[in-house]
Protein backbone atom coordinates (compact mmCIF):
# COMPACT_ATOMS: atom_id res chain seq x y z
CA UNK A 1 0.00 0.00 0.00
CA UNK A 2 1.63 3.32 -0.97
CA UNK A 3 2.64 5.60 1.84
CA UNK A 4 0.25 8.46 2.49
CA UNK A 5 1.76 11.64 1.10
CA UNK A 6 3.90 13.49 3.66
CA UNK A 7 2.85 11.10 6.44
CA UNK A 8 6.59 10.59 6.89
CA UNK A 9 9.15 12.87 5.35
CA UNK A 10 12.12 11.63 3.39
CA UNK A 11 15.50 13.06 4.29
CA UNK A 12 15.37 15.36 1.32
CA UNK A 13 11.92 16.65 2.24
CA UNK A 14 13.05 17.16 5.83
CA UNK A 15 16.11 19.22 4.95
CA UNK A 16 14.32 21.31 2.30
CA UNK A 17 11.72 22.29 4.90
CA UNK A 18 14.47 22.91 7.42
CA UNK A 19 16.22 25.29 4.98
CA UNK A 20 12.95 27.16 4.51
CA UNK A 21 12.72 27.98 8.20
CA UNK A 22 14.20 31.25 6.96
CA UNK A 23 13.23 32.90 3.69
CA UNK A 24 15.29 31.32 0.98
CA UNK A 25 15.55 31.15 -2.81
CA UNK A 26 15.01 27.73 -4.37
CA UNK A 27 18.48 27.78 -5.87
CA UNK A 28 20.12 28.42 -2.53
CA UNK A 29 18.54 25.31 -1.07
CA UNK A 30 20.63 23.24 -3.51
CA UNK A 31 23.76 24.55 -1.77
CA UNK A 32 22.45 24.79 1.78
CA UNK A 33 21.37 21.18 2.20
CA UNK A 34 24.78 19.59 1.48
CA UNK A 35 26.44 22.32 3.54
CA UNK A 36 24.12 21.66 6.46
CA UNK A 37 24.68 17.89 6.30
CA UNK A 38 28.40 17.93 5.45
CA UNK A 39 27.61 16.48 2.05
CA UNK A 40 25.60 13.57 3.41
CA UNK A 41 22.34 14.67 1.87
CA UNK A 42 22.04 16.14 -1.59
CA UNK A 43 18.87 17.22 -3.35
CA UNK A 44 18.69 17.02 -7.11
CA UNK A 45 17.53 20.16 -8.92
CA UNK A 46 14.64 18.28 -10.50
CA UNK A 47 13.61 16.73 -7.21
CA UNK A 48 13.83 20.12 -5.48
CA UNK A 49 11.61 21.71 -8.12
CA UNK A 50 8.99 19.00 -7.63
CA UNK A 51 9.20 19.14 -3.83
CA UNK A 52 8.70 22.92 -3.84
CA UNK A 53 5.65 22.49 -6.09
CA UNK A 54 4.24 19.79 -3.84
CA UNK A 55 4.91 21.77 -0.62
CA UNK A 56 3.23 24.82 -2.15
CA UNK A 57 0.19 22.77 -3.12
CA UNK A 58 0.04 21.24 0.38
CA UNK A 59 0.46 24.74 1.88
CA UNK A 60 3.53 23.65 3.79
CA UNK A 61 5.47 26.58 2.33
CA UNK A 62 4.51 29.87 0.71
CA UNK A 63 6.10 32.15 -1.83
CA UNK A 64 7.49 35.35 -0.44
CA UNK A 65 9.19 37.04 -3.40
CA UNK A 66 9.33 36.74 -7.16
CA UNK A 67 12.24 38.35 -8.99
CA UNK A 68 12.07 37.37 -12.65
CA UNK A 69 12.30 33.61 -12.59
CA UNK A 70 13.79 33.52 -9.10
CA UNK A 71 11.34 32.77 -6.32
CA UNK A 72 11.85 32.69 -2.59
CA UNK A 73 9.86 30.67 -0.09
CA UNK A 74 9.34 30.27 3.62
CA UNK A 75 7.84 27.50 5.68
CA UNK A 76 4.25 27.92 6.93
CA UNK A 77 2.81 26.91 10.28
CA UNK A 78 1.52 23.74 8.71
CA UNK A 79 4.96 22.96 7.35
CA UNK A 80 6.53 23.65 10.73
CA UNK A 81 4.01 21.34 12.32
CA UNK A 82 4.84 18.51 9.92
CA UNK A 83 8.53 19.11 10.46
CA UNK A 84 7.97 18.89 14.21
CA UNK A 85 6.01 15.65 13.81
CA UNK A 86 8.81 14.18 11.77
CA UNK A 87 11.33 15.26 14.38
CA UNK A 88 9.27 13.55 17.10
CA UNK A 89 9.12 10.42 15.00
CA UNK A 90 12.89 10.39 14.55
CA UNK A 91 13.38 10.95 18.31
CA UNK A 92 11.09 8.01 19.00
CA UNK A 93 13.16 5.89 16.65
CA UNK A 94 16.38 6.98 18.38
CA UNK A 95 14.87 6.10 21.74
CA UNK A 96 13.86 2.65 20.51
CA UNK A 97 17.33 2.19 19.10
CA UNK A 98 19.00 3.20 22.35
CA UNK A 99 16.79 0.77 24.26
CA UNK A 100 18.37 -2.08 22.30
CA UNK A 101 21.88 -0.86 21.63
CA UNK A 102 22.39 1.76 24.34
CA UNK A 103 23.08 5.43 23.97
CA UNK A 104 26.45 4.92 22.35
CA UNK A 105 25.17 2.28 19.99
CA UNK A 106 27.00 -0.58 21.68
CA UNK A 107 25.16 -3.06 23.82
CA UNK B 1 34.08 16.54 -42.29
CA UNK B 2 30.43 17.23 -41.52
CA UNK B 3 29.53 19.11 -38.38
CA UNK B 4 25.90 18.04 -38.09
CA UNK B 5 24.40 14.58 -38.21
CA UNK B 6 20.84 13.37 -37.85
CA UNK B 7 19.67 10.02 -36.56
CA UNK B 8 16.34 8.29 -36.30
CA UNK B 9 15.24 8.24 -32.65
CA UNK B 10 15.17 4.58 -31.71
CA UNK B 11 14.63 4.76 -27.95
CA UNK B 12 11.31 4.59 -26.19
CA UNK B 13 10.18 7.86 -24.66
CA UNK B 14 10.56 6.58 -21.09
CA UNK B 15 13.92 4.86 -21.57
CA UNK B 16 15.91 7.48 -19.71
CA UNK B 17 18.72 5.05 -18.84
CA UNK B 18 19.19 3.87 -22.41
CA UNK B 19 19.00 7.41 -23.80
CA UNK B 20 21.56 8.78 -21.31
CA UNK B 21 23.95 5.90 -21.98
CA UNK B 22 23.62 6.38 -25.72
CA UNK B 23 24.23 10.13 -25.55
CA UNK B 24 27.31 9.60 -23.38
CA UNK B 25 28.72 7.23 -26.00
CA UNK B 26 27.99 9.78 -28.72
CA UNK B 27 29.77 12.50 -26.74
CA UNK B 28 32.81 10.29 -26.36
CA UNK B 29 32.84 10.00 -30.16
CA UNK B 30 32.53 13.75 -30.61
CA UNK B 31 28.78 14.30 -31.06
CA UNK B 32 26.54 16.36 -28.82
CA UNK B 33 22.74 16.28 -29.06
CA UNK B 34 21.39 19.75 -29.75
CA UNK B 35 17.87 19.23 -31.11
CA UNK B 36 15.32 16.45 -30.95
CA UNK B 37 11.87 15.54 -32.21
CA UNK B 38 9.79 12.35 -32.00
CA UNK B 39 11.58 10.86 -35.00
CA UNK B 40 14.90 12.58 -35.46
CA UNK B 41 17.77 13.61 -33.18
CA UNK B 42 20.27 16.16 -34.39
CA UNK B 43 23.86 16.13 -33.18
CA UNK B 44 26.55 18.74 -33.57
CA UNK B 45 30.24 18.00 -33.68
CA UNK B 46 32.28 18.63 -30.55
CA UNK B 47 35.69 17.62 -29.31
CA UNK B 48 35.24 14.06 -28.00
CA UNK B 49 34.87 14.22 -24.25
CA UNK B 50 33.55 12.47 -21.21
CA UNK B 51 30.12 13.92 -20.40
CA UNK B 52 27.41 12.76 -18.10
CA UNK B 53 23.85 13.00 -19.35
CA UNK B 54 20.61 13.17 -17.42
CA UNK B 55 17.18 12.63 -18.95
CA UNK B 56 14.41 14.18 -16.91
CA UNK B 57 10.71 14.68 -17.47
CA UNK B 58 8.70 17.84 -17.02
CA UNK B 59 5.00 16.98 -17.34
CA UNK B 60 4.09 20.65 -17.22
CA UNK B 61 5.21 21.14 -20.81
CA UNK B 62 2.35 21.75 -23.19
CA UNK B 63 2.47 21.22 -26.95
CA UNK B 64 -0.02 24.05 -27.13
CA UNK B 65 2.56 26.60 -26.06
CA UNK B 66 4.77 28.28 -28.62
CA UNK B 67 7.74 28.68 -26.31
CA UNK B 68 8.85 27.27 -22.95
CA UNK B 69 6.72 28.52 -20.08
CA UNK B 70 8.27 30.47 -17.22
CA UNK B 71 8.01 27.37 -15.03
CA UNK B 72 10.05 25.38 -17.49
CA UNK B 73 12.71 28.04 -17.65
CA UNK B 74 12.78 28.22 -13.86
CA UNK B 75 13.28 24.46 -13.81
CA UNK B 76 16.15 24.77 -16.26
CA UNK B 77 17.68 27.55 -14.16
CA UNK B 78 17.71 25.25 -11.12
CA UNK B 79 19.40 22.51 -13.12
CA UNK B 80 21.98 24.91 -14.50
CA UNK B 81 22.72 26.17 -11.01
CA UNK B 82 23.58 22.58 -10.10
CA UNK B 83 25.98 22.32 -13.05
CA UNK B 84 23.67 20.77 -15.64
CA UNK B 85 23.51 22.38 -19.07
CA UNK B 86 20.41 22.04 -21.19
CA UNK B 87 21.08 20.05 -24.39
CA UNK B 88 17.66 19.57 -25.96
CA UNK B 89 13.99 19.05 -25.22
CA UNK B 90 11.20 17.15 -26.87
CA UNK B 91 7.78 17.83 -25.37
CA UNK B 92 8.00 16.58 -21.76
CA UNK B 93 11.50 15.11 -22.07
CA UNK B 94 14.46 17.32 -21.18
CA UNK B 95 18.07 16.32 -21.63
CA UNK B 96 20.93 17.87 -19.67
CA UNK B 97 24.61 17.20 -19.60
CA UNK B 98 27.52 18.08 -17.35
CA UNK B 99 31.28 17.87 -17.38
CA UNK B 100 31.43 17.43 -13.59
CA UNK B 101 32.88 14.12 -12.48
CA UNK B 102 30.48 13.52 -9.61
CA UNK B 103 27.44 15.71 -10.15
CA UNK B 104 24.36 15.55 -7.97
CA UNK B 105 21.78 13.84 -10.18
CA UNK B 106 18.86 15.97 -11.29
CA UNK B 107 16.46 13.42 -9.84
CA UNK B 108 17.37 12.12 -6.38
CA UNK B 109 13.99 10.84 -5.24
CA UNK B 110 12.94 7.64 -7.04
CA UNK B 111 9.25 7.89 -6.13
CA UNK B 112 8.98 11.44 -7.46
CA UNK B 113 10.95 10.57 -10.59
CA UNK B 114 8.79 7.56 -11.43
CA UNK B 115 5.61 9.65 -11.14
CA UNK B 116 7.11 12.41 -13.27
CA UNK B 117 7.91 9.84 -15.96
CA UNK B 118 4.43 8.41 -15.75
CA UNK B 119 2.74 11.82 -15.99
CA UNK B 120 4.85 12.64 -19.02
CA UNK B 121 4.26 9.26 -20.61
CA UNK B 122 0.51 9.70 -20.37
CA UNK B 123 0.85 12.71 -22.64
CA UNK B 124 3.67 11.43 -24.87
CA UNK B 125 2.21 7.93 -25.25
CA UNK B 126 -1.16 9.39 -26.07
CA UNK B 127 0.24 11.36 -28.97
CA UNK B 128 2.51 8.80 -30.58
CA UNK B 129 0.32 5.78 -30.06
CA UNK B 130 -2.76 7.66 -31.20
CA UNK B 131 -0.97 8.31 -34.47
CA UNK B 132 -0.08 4.62 -34.76
CA UNK B 133 -3.61 3.51 -33.96
CA UNK B 134 -5.30 6.03 -36.27
CA UNK B 135 -2.96 5.24 -39.14
CA UNK B 136 -3.21 1.51 -38.46
CA UNK B 137 -7.01 1.50 -38.33
CA UNK B 138 -7.29 3.48 -41.56
CA UNK B 139 -4.83 1.16 -43.29
CA UNK B 140 -6.62 -1.97 -42.08
CA UNK B 141 -9.95 -0.50 -43.19
CA UNK B 142 -8.55 0.04 -46.67
CA UNK B 143 -7.23 -3.51 -46.74
CA UNK B 144 -10.59 -4.75 -45.51
CA UNK B 145 -12.35 -2.95 -48.35
CA UNK B 146 -10.02 -4.53 -50.86
CA UNK B 147 -10.50 -7.96 -49.28
CA UNK B 148 -14.27 -7.66 -49.47
CA UNK B 149 -14.43 -6.40 -53.05
CA UNK B 150 -11.58 -8.44 -54.56
CA UNK B 151 -10.88 -11.24 -52.13
CA UNK B 152 -8.94 -13.43 -54.51
CA UNK B 153 -6.95 -10.48 -55.83
CA UNK B 154 -6.07 -9.64 -52.25
CA UNK B 155 -4.98 -13.14 -51.29
CA UNK B 156 -2.98 -13.63 -54.44
CA UNK B 157 -0.93 -10.48 -53.91
CA UNK B 158 2.22 -10.72 -51.81
CA UNK B 159 2.21 -6.97 -51.40
CA UNK B 160 -1.25 -6.97 -49.88
CA UNK B 161 -0.35 -9.83 -47.54
CA UNK B 162 2.90 -8.11 -46.54
CA UNK B 163 1.05 -4.80 -46.22
CA UNK B 164 -1.47 -6.23 -43.78
CA UNK B 165 1.36 -7.86 -41.88
CA UNK B 166 3.24 -4.52 -41.74
CA UNK B 167 0.23 -2.68 -40.39
CA UNK B 168 -0.53 -5.35 -37.83
CA UNK B 169 3.10 -5.39 -36.70
CA UNK B 170 3.09 -1.60 -36.49
CA UNK B 171 0.17 -1.78 -34.10
CA UNK B 172 1.81 -4.67 -32.22
CA UNK B 173 5.05 -2.69 -31.93
CA UNK B 174 3.16 0.19 -30.34
CA UNK B 175 1.34 -2.19 -28.02
CA UNK B 176 4.59 -4.00 -27.13
CA UNK B 177 6.18 -0.72 -26.15
CA UNK B 178 3.22 0.02 -23.93
CA UNK B 179 3.45 -3.40 -22.29
CA UNK B 180 7.19 -3.00 -21.62
CA UNK B 181 6.50 0.39 -20.13
CA UNK B 182 3.74 -0.70 -17.76
CA UNK B 183 5.81 -3.67 -16.64
CA UNK B 184 8.67 -1.30 -15.78
CA UNK B 185 6.29 1.15 -14.09
CA UNK B 186 4.95 -1.50 -11.73
CA UNK B 187 8.47 -2.62 -10.75
CA UNK B 188 9.68 0.95 -10.41
CA UNK B 189 6.81 2.02 -8.16
CA UNK B 190 7.29 -1.01 -5.93
CA UNK B 191 11.03 -0.46 -5.60
CA UNK B 192 10.65 3.26 -4.93
CA UNK B 193 8.11 2.54 -2.21
CA UNK B 194 10.09 -0.30 -0.60
CA UNK B 195 13.62 1.03 -0.50
CA UNK B 196 13.68 4.29 -2.44
CA UNK B 197 15.69 2.82 -5.32
CA UNK B 198 15.12 3.64 -8.98
CA UNK B 199 14.66 0.71 -11.36
CA UNK B 200 16.69 1.50 -14.45
CA UNK B 201 14.81 1.45 -17.73
CA UNK B 202 15.71 -1.02 -20.44
CA UNK B 203 15.66 -0.73 -24.22
CA UNK B 204 12.46 -1.32 -26.22
CA UNK B 205 12.95 -4.99 -26.79
CA UNK B 206 9.29 -5.46 -27.65
CA UNK B 207 9.50 -3.00 -30.49
CA UNK B 208 12.67 -4.43 -31.93
CA UNK B 209 11.35 -7.95 -31.66
CA UNK B 210 8.18 -6.94 -33.47
CA UNK B 211 10.06 -5.03 -36.15
CA UNK B 212 12.44 -7.93 -36.67
CA UNK B 213 9.49 -10.29 -37.06
CA UNK B 214 7.96 -7.80 -39.47
CA UNK B 215 11.05 -7.65 -41.63
CA UNK B 216 11.61 -11.41 -41.62
CA UNK B 217 7.97 -12.18 -42.37
CA UNK B 218 7.76 -9.63 -45.18
CA UNK B 219 11.04 -10.79 -46.67
CA UNK B 220 10.00 -14.42 -46.52
CA UNK B 221 6.68 -13.58 -48.16
CA UNK B 222 8.18 -11.57 -50.95
CA UNK B 223 11.54 -13.20 -51.63
CA UNK B 224 10.40 -16.32 -53.51
CA UNK B 225 8.08 -14.35 -55.74
CA UNK B 226 10.08 -11.30 -56.57
CA UNK B 227 9.49 -10.04 -60.03
CA UNK B 228 10.49 -6.76 -61.57
CA UNK B 229 7.12 -5.12 -61.18
CA UNK B 230 6.87 -6.26 -57.56
CA UNK B 231 10.26 -4.76 -56.68
CA UNK B 232 9.33 -1.45 -58.28
CA UNK B 233 5.97 -1.50 -56.58
CA UNK B 234 7.50 -2.27 -53.19
CA UNK B 235 10.09 0.50 -53.61
CA UNK B 236 7.39 2.97 -54.58
CA UNK B 237 5.32 2.02 -51.56
CA UNK B 238 8.34 2.25 -49.23
CA UNK B 239 9.18 5.70 -50.61
CA UNK B 240 5.65 7.00 -50.12
CA UNK B 241 5.48 5.60 -46.58
CA UNK B 242 8.90 7.07 -45.71
CA UNK B 243 8.02 10.51 -47.06
CA UNK B 244 4.76 10.64 -45.16
CA UNK B 245 6.37 9.29 -41.97
CA UNK B 246 8.99 12.06 -42.07
CA UNK B 247 6.34 14.70 -42.75
CA UNK B 248 4.18 13.34 -39.96
CA UNK B 249 6.83 13.07 -37.26
CA UNK B 250 8.82 16.11 -38.30
CA UNK B 251 5.67 18.02 -39.08
CA UNK B 252 5.46 19.73 -35.73
CA UNK B 253 9.01 21.00 -35.86
CA UNK B 254 8.55 22.13 -39.47
CA UNK B 255 5.31 23.96 -38.67
CA UNK B 256 6.86 25.55 -35.60
CA UNK B 257 9.70 26.94 -37.70
CA UNK B 258 7.13 28.29 -40.13
CA UNK B 259 5.47 30.16 -37.27
CA UNK B 260 2.22 28.18 -37.25
CA UNK B 261 0.39 28.67 -33.90
CA UNK B 262 0.59 25.81 -31.41
CA UNK B 263 -3.11 24.88 -31.38
CA UNK B 264 -3.14 24.70 -35.16
CA UNK B 265 -0.08 22.44 -35.04
CA UNK B 266 -1.80 20.11 -32.59
CA UNK B 267 -4.94 19.76 -34.72
CA UNK B 268 -2.82 19.36 -37.82
CA UNK B 269 -0.99 16.49 -36.15
CA UNK B 270 -4.22 14.60 -35.45
CA UNK B 271 -5.54 15.17 -38.98
CA UNK B 272 -2.15 14.17 -40.37
CA UNK B 273 -2.44 10.84 -38.58
CA UNK B 274 -5.63 10.01 -40.47
CA UNK B 275 -4.27 11.40 -43.72
CA UNK B 276 -1.15 9.32 -43.21
CA UNK B 277 -3.26 6.19 -43.27
CA UNK B 278 -5.25 7.24 -46.31
CA UNK B 279 -2.45 8.59 -48.43
CA UNK B 280 -0.13 5.70 -47.77
CA UNK B 281 -2.98 3.26 -48.13
CA UNK B 282 -4.08 4.62 -51.51
CA UNK B 283 -0.81 4.09 -53.37
CA UNK B 284 -0.39 0.76 -51.62
CA UNK B 285 -3.83 -0.31 -52.85
CA UNK B 286 -3.04 0.90 -56.35
CA UNK B 287 0.20 -1.02 -56.47
CA UNK B 288 -1.48 -4.12 -55.07
CA UNK B 289 -4.29 -3.88 -57.62
CA UNK B 290 -1.79 -3.38 -60.40
CA UNK B 291 0.40 -6.21 -59.20
CA UNK B 292 -2.53 -8.57 -58.72
CA UNK B 293 -3.98 -7.86 -62.13
CA UNK B 294 -0.78 -7.87 -64.13
CA UNK B 295 0.50 -10.93 -65.75
CA UNK B 296 4.13 -10.58 -66.58
CA UNK B 297 4.07 -10.61 -70.33
CA UNK B 298 7.03 -12.86 -70.94
CA UNK B 299 4.96 -15.12 -73.15
CA UNK B 300 4.86 -13.76 -76.66
CA UNK B 301 2.31 -15.07 -79.16
CA UNK B 302 3.60 -17.82 -81.41
CA UNK B 303 2.23 -15.93 -84.37
CA UNK B 304 -0.26 -13.34 -85.52
CA UNK B 305 -2.94 -13.96 -88.11
CA UNK B 306 -5.53 -11.85 -89.80
CA UNK B 307 -9.24 -12.55 -89.76
CA UNK B 308 -11.18 -10.04 -91.81
CA UNK B 309 -9.62 -6.77 -90.80
CA UNK B 310 -8.60 -7.86 -87.31
CA UNK B 311 -5.12 -8.99 -86.34
CA UNK B 312 -5.28 -11.78 -83.80
CA UNK B 313 -2.66 -13.62 -81.78
CA UNK B 314 -2.17 -17.35 -81.54
CA UNK B 315 -0.15 -18.95 -78.76
CA UNK B 316 1.73 -22.16 -78.36
CA UNK B 317 2.15 -22.38 -74.56
CA UNK B 318 2.51 -25.61 -72.61
CA UNK B 319 -0.86 -26.61 -71.16
CA UNK B 320 -1.37 -29.44 -68.63
CA UNK B 321 -4.63 -30.47 -70.34
CA UNK B 322 -5.42 -30.21 -74.02
CA UNK B 323 -8.49 -31.01 -76.08
CA UNK B 324 -6.42 -33.69 -77.80
CA UNK B 325 -6.20 -35.51 -74.41
CA UNK B 326 -9.99 -35.82 -74.46
CA UNK B 327 -11.01 -36.31 -78.09
CA UNK B 328 -9.42 -37.08 -81.40
CA UNK B 329 -9.35 -34.08 -83.63
CA UNK B 330 -8.00 -33.28 -87.08
CA UNK B 331 -7.86 -29.57 -86.37
CA UNK B 332 -4.24 -28.52 -85.84
CA UNK B 333 -4.44 -24.74 -85.67
CA UNK B 334 -5.35 -24.41 -82.03
CA UNK B 335 -4.03 -21.55 -79.92
CA UNK B 336 -2.72 -22.79 -76.56
CA UNK B 337 -2.58 -19.81 -74.26
CA UNK B 338 -1.62 -19.47 -70.62
CA UNK B 339 -3.58 -16.32 -69.78
CA UNK B 340 -2.12 -15.80 -66.33
CA UNK B 341 -0.06 -17.40 -63.63
CA UNK B 342 -0.26 -15.73 -60.24
CA UNK B 343 1.29 -16.74 -56.99
CA UNK B 344 1.54 -15.42 -53.47
CA UNK B 345 2.46 -16.92 -50.15
CA UNK B 346 -1.23 -17.81 -49.70
CA UNK B 347 -2.67 -18.71 -53.12
CA UNK B 348 -1.60 -19.86 -56.58
CA UNK B 349 -3.64 -19.58 -59.72
CA UNK B 350 -3.25 -20.76 -63.30
CA UNK B 351 -5.57 -19.69 -66.09
CA UNK B 352 -5.49 -21.11 -69.61
CA UNK B 353 -7.53 -21.39 -72.79
CA UNK B 354 -7.26 -23.58 -75.84
CA UNK B 355 -9.22 -22.03 -78.67
CA UNK B 356 -9.57 -22.46 -82.41
CA UNK B 357 -8.82 -19.65 -84.78
CA UNK B 358 -11.64 -17.38 -85.73
CA UNK B 359 -11.94 -18.96 -89.16
CA UNK B 360 -12.68 -22.35 -87.49
CA UNK B 361 -15.00 -21.18 -84.74
CA UNK B 362 -17.07 -24.35 -84.93
CA UNK B 363 -14.17 -26.34 -83.48
CA UNK B 364 -14.43 -27.02 -79.73
CA UNK B 365 -12.63 -24.84 -77.22
CA UNK B 366 -11.71 -25.42 -73.60
CA UNK B 367 -10.71 -23.02 -70.82
CA UNK B 368 -9.86 -23.67 -67.22
CA UNK B 369 -8.61 -21.98 -64.08
CA UNK B 370 -6.80 -23.84 -61.34
CA UNK B 371 -6.72 -22.14 -57.93
CA UNK B 372 -4.86 -23.66 -55.02
CA UNK B 373 -4.65 -22.68 -51.37
CA UNK B 374 -1.05 -22.90 -50.18
CA UNK B 375 -2.13 -22.36 -46.61
CA UNK B 376 -4.56 -25.24 -45.81
CA UNK B 377 -6.58 -23.04 -43.45
CA UNK B 378 -7.55 -20.89 -46.43
CA UNK B 379 -9.09 -23.77 -48.41
CA UNK B 380 -12.67 -23.25 -47.28
CA UNK B 381 -12.42 -19.49 -47.81
CA UNK B 382 -11.06 -20.08 -51.30
CA UNK B 383 -13.86 -22.51 -52.09
CA UNK B 384 -16.42 -19.90 -51.08
CA UNK B 385 -14.70 -17.19 -53.15
CA UNK B 386 -14.40 -19.35 -56.27
CA UNK B 387 -18.00 -20.57 -55.93
CA UNK B 388 -19.20 -16.97 -55.86
CA UNK B 389 -17.24 -16.01 -58.94
CA UNK B 390 -18.17 -19.33 -60.63
CA UNK B 391 -21.82 -18.28 -60.54
CA UNK B 392 -21.42 -14.51 -60.98
CA UNK B 393 -18.91 -14.65 -63.81
CA UNK B 394 -20.69 -17.22 -65.95
CA UNK B 395 -21.56 -15.52 -69.19
CA UNK B 396 -24.19 -17.30 -71.22
CA UNK B 397 -24.38 -16.82 -74.97
CA UNK B 398 -26.78 -15.17 -75.66
CA UNK B 399 -27.05 -13.49 -72.25
CA UNK B 400 -30.11 -14.57 -70.32
CA UNK B 401 -31.76 -12.32 -67.77
CA UNK B 402 -34.84 -14.45 -67.25
CA UNK B 403 -33.51 -16.68 -64.50
CA UNK B 404 -30.46 -16.39 -62.33
CA UNK B 405 -27.53 -18.68 -62.87
CA UNK B 406 -27.10 -21.32 -60.21
CA UNK B 407 -24.46 -23.87 -59.27
CA UNK B 408 -25.86 -27.35 -58.75
CA UNK B 409 -23.97 -30.09 -56.93
CA UNK B 410 -23.36 -33.10 -59.16
CA UNK B 411 -21.77 -36.52 -58.75
CA UNK B 412 -18.03 -35.91 -58.36
CA UNK B 413 -16.92 -39.51 -58.73
CA UNK B 414 -16.50 -39.43 -62.51
CA UNK B 415 -14.28 -36.38 -62.11
CA UNK B 416 -12.31 -38.15 -59.35
CA UNK B 417 -13.07 -35.08 -57.28
CA UNK B 418 -14.12 -34.46 -53.68
CA UNK B 419 -17.00 -32.30 -54.87
CA UNK B 420 -18.33 -31.08 -58.20
CA UNK B 421 -20.75 -28.36 -59.29
CA UNK B 422 -22.29 -27.48 -62.62
CA UNK B 423 -23.81 -24.26 -63.91
CA UNK B 424 -27.53 -24.40 -64.59
CA UNK B 425 -29.18 -21.60 -66.52
CA UNK B 426 -32.98 -21.52 -66.83
CA UNK B 427 -32.96 -25.04 -65.48
CA UNK B 428 -30.67 -26.29 -68.24
CA UNK B 429 -27.16 -27.61 -67.56
CA UNK B 430 -24.24 -25.75 -69.07
CA UNK B 431 -20.82 -27.23 -69.70
CA UNK B 432 -19.15 -25.20 -66.99
CA UNK B 433 -17.91 -27.02 -63.92
CA UNK B 434 -16.32 -26.31 -60.55
CA UNK B 435 -14.31 -29.21 -59.14
CA UNK B 436 -12.70 -29.60 -55.72
CA UNK B 437 -9.53 -31.62 -55.23
CA UNK B 438 -8.39 -31.15 -51.63
CA UNK B 439 -7.03 -27.61 -51.48
CA UNK B 440 -7.23 -27.23 -55.27
CA UNK B 441 -10.23 -25.84 -57.10
CA UNK B 442 -10.65 -26.27 -60.87
CA UNK B 443 -13.10 -24.23 -62.92
CA UNK B 444 -13.39 -25.70 -66.41
CA UNK B 445 -15.64 -24.79 -69.33
CA UNK B 446 -16.50 -26.34 -72.67
CA UNK B 447 -18.96 -25.52 -75.47
CA UNK B 448 -22.50 -26.45 -74.40
CA UNK B 449 -22.76 -28.98 -77.22
CA UNK B 450 -19.90 -31.06 -75.81
CA UNK B 451 -21.34 -33.52 -73.32
CA UNK B 452 -18.36 -35.14 -71.62
CA UNK B 453 -18.38 -38.86 -70.96
CA UNK B 454 -16.97 -40.46 -67.81
CA UNK B 455 -13.64 -41.29 -69.42
CA UNK B 456 -13.14 -37.67 -70.42
CA UNK B 457 -14.15 -36.48 -66.95
CA UNK B 458 -11.64 -38.88 -65.42
CA UNK B 459 -8.89 -37.53 -67.73
CA UNK B 460 -9.73 -33.97 -66.68
CA UNK B 461 -9.56 -34.98 -63.04
CA UNK B 462 -6.32 -36.89 -63.45
CA UNK B 463 -4.54 -34.12 -65.35
CA UNK B 464 -5.73 -31.06 -63.52
CA UNK B 465 -5.81 -32.31 -59.94
CA UNK B 466 -2.06 -32.83 -59.75
CA UNK B 467 -0.37 -30.69 -62.41
CA UNK B 468 2.07 -28.03 -61.19
CA UNK B 469 0.66 -24.52 -61.24
CA UNK B 470 3.51 -22.03 -61.04
Torsion angle in degrees (nearest 10) through CA of B284, B290, B295, B298:
-90
Give pLDDT, residue B406. Answer: 87
For helices A45-57 and B110-149, what crossing angle results, to 10°?
A: 90
Contacts of A80 (CB under 8 A, 6+ apart): A21
β-pair partners for B144? none
Instruction: Tell me if B178 sits within 8 A of B172, measured CB to CB.
Output: no
pLDDT digits (tens, 9 = 90+) for B233-247: 566 666 666 666 666
More confident residue, A50 or B229: A50
Give pLDDT, residue A7. Answer: 77
Nearest CA to B417 out of B397, B434, B430, B403 is that of B434
**What is the rounded CA–CA span in Å between residue A27 and residue A47?**
12
Give pLDDT, residue B16. Answer: 92
Give the best residue of A3, A45, A54, A70 to mutate against chain B (max B CB count within 10 A): A45
ipTM above 0.85, yes or no: yes
Cβ distance of A69 and B70 shorter than 8 Å: yes
Cβ distance of A46 and B56 shorter than 8 Å: yes
Cβ distance of B109 and A44 shorter than 8 Å: yes
**What is the rounded CA–CA span in Å between residue B23 and residue B19?**
6
Cβ distance of B112 and A26 shorter than 8 Å: no
- Residue B191 at interface with chain A, using a CB cutoff of 8 Å: no
Beta-sheet strands, E only, within B14-148: 31-36, 40-45, 52-57, 85-90, 93-98
pLDDT digits (tens, 9 = 90+) for B52-103: 999 999 887 665 555 667 888 899 999 999 999 999 998 889 999 999 999 9
Average confidence score pLDDT of chain B:
83
pLDDT digits (tens, 9 = 90+) for A75-106: 999 999 999 999 999 999 999 999 999 877 65
* Whether the predicted pLDDT of B396 surpasses 70: no
- Residue B406 at interface with chain A, using a CB cutoff of 8 Å: no
- Residue B69 at interface with chain A, using a CB cutoff of 8 Å: no
Give the best residue of B108, B110, B194 to mutate against chain A (max A CB count within 10 A): B108
- Chain A residues in contact with B85 by the CB 8 A cut-off are none
Report which secondary-structure segment, H or E, holds B382. helix B379-392
pTM, rounded to two decimals: 0.70
* Whether the predicted pLDDT of B352 surpasses 90: yes
- Chain B residues in contact with A43 by the CB 8 A cut-off are 104, 108
- Chain A residues in contact with B196 by the CB 8 A cut-off are 10
Cβ distance of A30 and B78 shorter than 8 Å: yes
Nearest CA to B73 out of A47, A66, A68, A52 is that of A68
Instruction: Tell me if B411 sits within 8 A of B454, measured CB to CB.
Output: no
Amino acid sequence: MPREKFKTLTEQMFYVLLCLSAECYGMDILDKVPAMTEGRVKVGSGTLYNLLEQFLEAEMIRETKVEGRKRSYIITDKGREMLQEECERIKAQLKDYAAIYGEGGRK
Amino acid sequence: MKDIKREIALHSFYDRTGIANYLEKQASKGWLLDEMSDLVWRFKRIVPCDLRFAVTYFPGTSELEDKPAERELAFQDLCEHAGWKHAASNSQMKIFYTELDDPTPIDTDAAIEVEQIHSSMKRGLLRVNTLFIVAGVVELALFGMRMSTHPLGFLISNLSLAGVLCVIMMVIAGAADLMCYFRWLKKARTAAELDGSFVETKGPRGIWLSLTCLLLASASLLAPYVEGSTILGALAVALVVAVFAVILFQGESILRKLGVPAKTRFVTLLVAGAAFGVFTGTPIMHVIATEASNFEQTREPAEYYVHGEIVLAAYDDELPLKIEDLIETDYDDYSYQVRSVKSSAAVEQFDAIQSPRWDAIEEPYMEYTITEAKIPALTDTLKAITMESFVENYLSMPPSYEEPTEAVAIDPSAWQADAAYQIYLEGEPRMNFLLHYGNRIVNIGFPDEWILDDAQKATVGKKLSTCPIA
